[in-house]
Amino acid sequence: MKFSTAIIVSFLFLAEFCAVQSLVLDISKFGGAPNSDITLALGNAWKEACASTTASKIVIPGGTYKMGGIELKGPCKAPIEVQVDGTIQAPADPSQIKAADQWVKFLYMEHLTLSGKGVFDGQGATAYKQAQPAAAWSGKKSNVKILMNLGFMFVNNSMVTGVTSKDSKNFHVMVLGCNNFTFDGFTVTAPSDSPNTDGIHMGRSTDVKILNTNIGTGDDCVSLGDGSRKITVQGVKCGPGHGISVGSLGRYTTEDNVEGVTVKSCTLTATQNGVRIKTWPDAPGTITVSDIHFEDITMNNVTNPIIIDQEYCPWNACNKKVPSKVKLSKTSFKNIQGTSGAPEGVVLVCSSTVPCDGVELNNVDVKFNGKPAIAKCSNVKPTVTGTAPACQAPGAVPAAGRKSPAK
């Protein structure tokens, strides 16, 4: 018993010692108060936390705050947690934000945690009204400043949990060059007609997990760009939106391969698309897309539940007669059920130059108006097992009820 008591006392002493060593920085200590602009206060709190040799927590309590564009940059000397429990509002007018691409940007650091029950409110309504959605594809310049809510650039071994991204002016979250990065219990919300408001977009990143997350927006709930490797999307509820997409890919020669993607145990409700891989025709990119797996997915009135689209060409910005050079292989769709908004619940349009290899349909039970949906296929011979529609004869594949453009 003496040893047990000594161990307990030592543990309590150690816990108390660690608590003392942890640095807690309330935003109020830096002049940050509700209903005021906290850009400078947060910047100063970050400088102190980043210079600390012990773990730090920056706390933004409940309340409503204003904030302009900000970069929270490392490398830092110890782990940092930013706990946001209030609502932080961006300027409604995009031109008032002094930032290049993201309103709130984290860069070049290890061991970041962004937590809390708070909201990053991009106040995107003004930007939605001014947006010219075709500009990005047509090559025309828009005079509207495009800003995302959150950016994570070269941030490793880190997590986002609990917080909400609301009404971003453009993509909600950009993840670039990150490794071992997790979203868990994250929320994204924007109107269904908000243009280009992808929930989480990533590229050139490895071992990213998106778990137990709710995304309702005006574009892709999750979109995976080039260089995405070892990605897990699990327990995501998507809707409204354009579904969960790998791509678009192949538009540029500088792109990197995509491999090792698992999307599982997700539910999509009233989305334009379900699970999709999309690559550009009439484009120079020659990357490969391999080891992509969609499984245990529920579709609730999804217009296009399952799509491989290697003729992805929004706004008629390319020539579909020139096949995509992106090679797709080892792709599976397993245990997918629910309802389709179009007769063609499965549309597999592959490249005639590099046809798809190793595509599998296993227990795909999707119905349209109470009857099994059909599969339309081109330049692919999938393996079909269990309850799954057999591909109809190759040929011209109809638009499968896609809204135009299917962004």
SS3 assignment, position 94: helix
Mean pLDDT of 132-136: 49
User: Which tens digits make up the pLDDT trace of 66-114?
Assistant: 999 999 999 999 999 999 999 999 999 888 887 678 999 999 999 999 9
- Between CA 123 and CA 158 the distance in angstroms is 27
DSSP 221: S
Average predicted confidence (pLDDT) for the chain: 90
DSSP 196: T
Q: What is the number of other CB atoms lying within 10 angstroms of the CB of residue 63?
A: 18
User: Which tens digits make up the pLDDT trace of 250-308?
Assistant: 999 999 999 999 999 999 999 999 999 999 999 999 999 999 999 999 999 999 999 99
pLDDT of residue 118: 98
Domains and CATH numbers, the chain: 20-127+144-170 (2.160.20.10), 220-395 (2.160.20.10)
pLDDT of residue 96: 84
Residues 6+ apart with CB under 8 A from 70: 39, 42, 43, 99, 103, 104, 105
What kind and span of H or E run contains 300? strand 288-302
pLDDT at 320 over 80: yes
Record the pTM.
0.90
Q: Which residues pair with 206 in a beta bridge?
A: 179, 229
- The answer to whether the beta carbons of residues 242 and 272 sit under 8 Å apart is yes
- The answer to whether the beta carbons of residues 198 and 205 sit under 8 Å apart is no
Q: Tokens 């997409």 — which residue?
A: 245
pLDDT at 14 over 90: no
pLDDT at 381 over 60: yes
Q: How confident is the model at residue 22 (pLDDT cuts 50, 70, 90)?
A: confident
Show the tokens assigned to 68.
Answer: 């302009």
- The answer to whether the beta carbons of residues 401 and 303 sit under 8 Å apart is yes
pLDDT of residue 144: 57
Q: How confident is the model at residue 317 (pLDDT cuts 50, 70, 90)?
A: confident
Q: How confident is the model at residue 135 (pLDDT cuts 50, 70, 90)?
A: very low
Q: Catalytic residue numbers?
A: 242
